[in-house]
């Protein structure tokens, strides 16, 4: 018999750095799950991602067991990390904050692919290029 | 099942909750980044709102000012005494691993028949005896503690493994932990289990502290694969030839890669154990 899901919590947590203090504790505590077990597993699964902020979706079941899905970081976060940028441009059509190559776009597209509504790497690259332009990042070859 | 007498709030620190409405897109990502840079440990997404908790203080005030300047509308609420971390504690039960039984203090009667009894106050530290990784080390270490030996427990958390080593006959155990939140709990547990003179709890980095207590005859390390790998040379230098380490906190999927790195550092795999998605093992210095 399938277990009944009784709770769903969305969090953004730095890779490898989950700890039971708030807000992880406050978000998961009321569901009665073992917070430390969540932190231990999250940290083990994300330790190699260098502290980047990761969206994570936790599903809690009626027997207080839980499972979680890691999402890929937002395209903007990946672009900023790849290019070493502080932030995007306030006026993206006029002020450019950086340049991204096709190879860099492909690298990010490959990371994002599991969460995009396409299996085609070229469509994924086009989406990342769109996100880059909207942040004032120039796409070069 | 009996419940905890009263699960008290773990910390008296004053937490403040911040709730910010932020639409999808770069503004939302930027707001999340600002919260993280401003000291938030994580951010919860509740519909379109972002929710986080921070300790009262200058850093929080500065963050609120910065958010206001960026045009965000922030709802700031002081949290009262909230039982946010201890609710699961009432479900902590008895764990039996070979000769060892671990229980919270209010269930001490239920493990009176065990050869080795360990009481752990469930709190903010890792290691209540419930987790697969703790059980893995407790299982593997039982035949490895020589009477009178000096044992090091790296990343000791609640102190459960250090206490187990002392009760298995170690002469002296050094428990090393970085997390300041765990130290108080570890000391409390060491006292409660009557192993005070033999277990020393040290706060700090194992890479710096282990060489100071070396040579040791056994190392316990339930941490995380990347940290174990970082500590591998330090551990090897702290052990005599043939000396062993019990390692855990490793996912089954990380086994191959970790083993090849450890082999390159001169370790041999002696024994391994798998529970669920976690892998624990005994490795020996060549």
Burial group, residue B173, by CB count within 10 angstroms (0-12, 13-18, 19+): buried
B252 near A CB under 8 A: no
- Cα–Cα nearest to B40, from B28, B25, B26, B50: B50
Q: Which residues of B touch A20 (CB under 8 A)?
A: 85, 124
* Å between B85 CA and nearest CA of chain A: 5
Residues of chain B with pLDDT > 90, as a percent, come to: 67
pLDDT higher than threshold 60 for residue A53: yes
Backbone angles phi, psi at A99, to 5 degrees: -125, 140
Q: Name the residue of chain B whose CA is nearest to A25's CA.
A: B85
Question: Does the distance separating the beta carbons of B181 and A21 come in below 8 Å?
Answer: yes
Predicted pLDDT of residue A66:
87
ipTM of the complex as predicted: 0.78
B131 near A CB under 8 A: yes
B286 near A CB under 8 A: no
Instruction: Find the length of chain B.
Output: 286
Handedness of CA A55, B35, B50, B77 (dihedral sign): positive
CB proximity list for B12: less than 8 A, separation 6 or greater: none
Structure tokens at B253: 């999927």
Fold of B131-285: Rossmann fold (3.40.50)
pLDDT tens, A66-124? 899 999 988 888 888 889 887 766 677 778 888 999 999 999 999 999 888 888 999 99
B residues 85-104 lying closer than 8 A (beta carbon) to A: 85-88, 91
Question: Does the distance separating the beta carbons of A64 and B32 come in below 8 Å?
Answer: no
Predicted pLDDT of residue B93:
83
Handedness of CA B13, B193, B1, A58 (dihedral sign): positive
Q: Domain B2-87 is classified in which CATH homologous superfamily?
A: ACT-like. Chain A, domain 2 (3.30.70.1150)
Which contiguous run of DSSP H or E holds residue B160?
helix B160-167
- Give which of B9, B17, B26 to mutate to test A binding, by max A Cβ within 10 Å: B26
Mean per-residue pLDDT for B254-274? 96
Q: Name the residue of chain B whose CA is nearest to A65's CA.
A: B88
Partner-chain residue, chosen from B53, B86, B126, that has the shortest CB–CB distance to A22: B53
Q: Which of A12-26, A41-55, B15-29, B42-56 shows the lowest mean pLDDT across its residues?
A: B15-29
Question: Does the distance separating the beta carbons of B84 and A29 come in below 8 Å?
Answer: yes
- Bridge partners (DSSP) listed for residue B273: B280
Can you give the residue ranges of every domain in chain B? 2-87, 131-285
A7 near B CB under 8 A: no
A33 near B CB under 8 A: yes
Model confidence, pTM: 0.77
* pLDDT confidence bin for B10, thresholds 50/70/90: very low
How far, in Å, CA of B5 to CA of B12, rounded? 19
A residues 54-83 lying closer than 8 A (beta carbon) to B: 55, 64, 74, 76-77
- Mark A103-124 as b/e (b = at least 16 C-beta within 10 Å): ebbebbbebbbeebeeeeeeeb
Predicted pLDDT of residue B92:
76
pLDDT higher than threshold 60 for residue B1: no
Helix (H, G, I), strand (E, B) or coil at A75: helix
* Å between A69 CA and nearest CA of chain B: 15
Question: Does the distance separating the beta carbons of A30 and B124 come in below 8 Å?
Answer: no
pLDDT tens, B87-100? 556 667 899 999 99
Partner-chain residue, chosen from A30, A40, A53, that has the shortest CB–CB distance to B126: A40
Q: Which residues of B touch A71 (CB under 8 A)?
A: none
Q: Name the residue of chain B whose CA is nearest to A44's CA.
A: B224
The chain-wide mean pLDDT, for chain A, equals 87
Residues of chain B with pLDDT > 70, as a percent, come to: 90
B158 near A CB under 8 A: no
Task: Determine contact, residues B245/B235, Cβ cutoff 8 Å.
Answer: yes
pLDDT tens, B57-85? 888 999 999 888 888 889 998 876 555 55
pLDDT tens, B199-236? 999 999 999 999 999 999 999 999 999 999 999 999 99
What is the biggest distance separating any 2 CA atoms in chain A, rounded to whole angstroms?
58
Partner-chain residue, chosen from B30, B36, B42, that has the shortest CB–CB distance to A87: B30
Same fold, B2-87 and B131-285: no
- Mark B57-72 as b/e (b = at least 16 C-beta within 10 Å): eeebeebbeebeeeeb
């Amino acid at each position: 018999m399938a277990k009944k899901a009784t709770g769903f919590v969305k969090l953004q947590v730095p890779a490898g750095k989950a700890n039971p203090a708030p807000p992880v504790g406050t978000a998961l505590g009321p569901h009665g799950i073992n917070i430390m077990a969540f932190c231990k597993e999250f940290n083990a699964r994300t330790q190699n991602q260098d502290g980047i902020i990761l969206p994570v979706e936790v599903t809690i079941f009626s027997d207080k067991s839980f499972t979680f899905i890691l999402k890929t970081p937002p395209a903007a976060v990946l672009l900023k990390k790849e290019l070493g940028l502080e932030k995007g441009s306030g006026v993206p059509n006029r002020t450019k904050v950086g340049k991204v190559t096709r190879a860099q776009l492909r690298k990010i597209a490959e990371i994002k692919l599991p969460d995009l509504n396409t299996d085609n790497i070229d469509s994924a690259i086009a989406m990342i290029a769109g996100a880059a332009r909207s942040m004032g990042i120039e796409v070069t070859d | 099942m009996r419940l905890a007498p009263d699960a008290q709030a773990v910390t008296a620190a004053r937490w403040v909750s911040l709730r910010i409405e932020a639409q999808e897109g770069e503004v939302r990502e930027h707001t999340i980044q600002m919260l993280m840079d401003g000291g938030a440990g994580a951010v919860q997404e509740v519909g379109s709102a972002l929710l986080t908790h921070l300790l009262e203080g200058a850093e929080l005030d500065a963050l609120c000012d910065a958010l206001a300047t960026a045009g965000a509308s922030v709802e700031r609420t002081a949290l009262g005494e909230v039982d946010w971390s201890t609710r699961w504690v009432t479900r902590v039960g008895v764990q039996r691993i070979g000769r060892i039984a671990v229980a919270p203090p209010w269930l001490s009667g239920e493990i009176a028949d065990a050869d080795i009894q360990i009481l752990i106050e469930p709190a903010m530290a890792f290691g209540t005896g419930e987790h697969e990784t703790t059980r893995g080390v407790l299982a593997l270490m039982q035949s490895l503690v020589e009477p009178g030996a000096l044992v090091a427990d790296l990343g000791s958390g609640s102190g459960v493994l250090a206490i187990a080593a002392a009760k298995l006959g170690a002469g002296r155990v050094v428990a090393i932990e970085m997390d300041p939140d765990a130290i108080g709990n570890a000391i409390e547990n060491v006292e409660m289990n009557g192993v005070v003179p033999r277990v020393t709890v040290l706060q700090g980095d194992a890479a710096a502290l282990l060489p100071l207590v070396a040579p040791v005859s056994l190392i316990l390390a339930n941490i995380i694969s990347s940290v174990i790998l970082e500590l591998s040379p330090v551990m090897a230098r702290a052990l005599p030839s043939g000396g062993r380490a019990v390692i855990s906190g490793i996912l089954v999927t990380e086994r191959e890669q970790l083993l090849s790195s450890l082999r390159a550092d001169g370790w041999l795999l002696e024994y391994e154990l798998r529970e669920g998605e976690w892998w624990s093992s005994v490795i020996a210095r060549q």
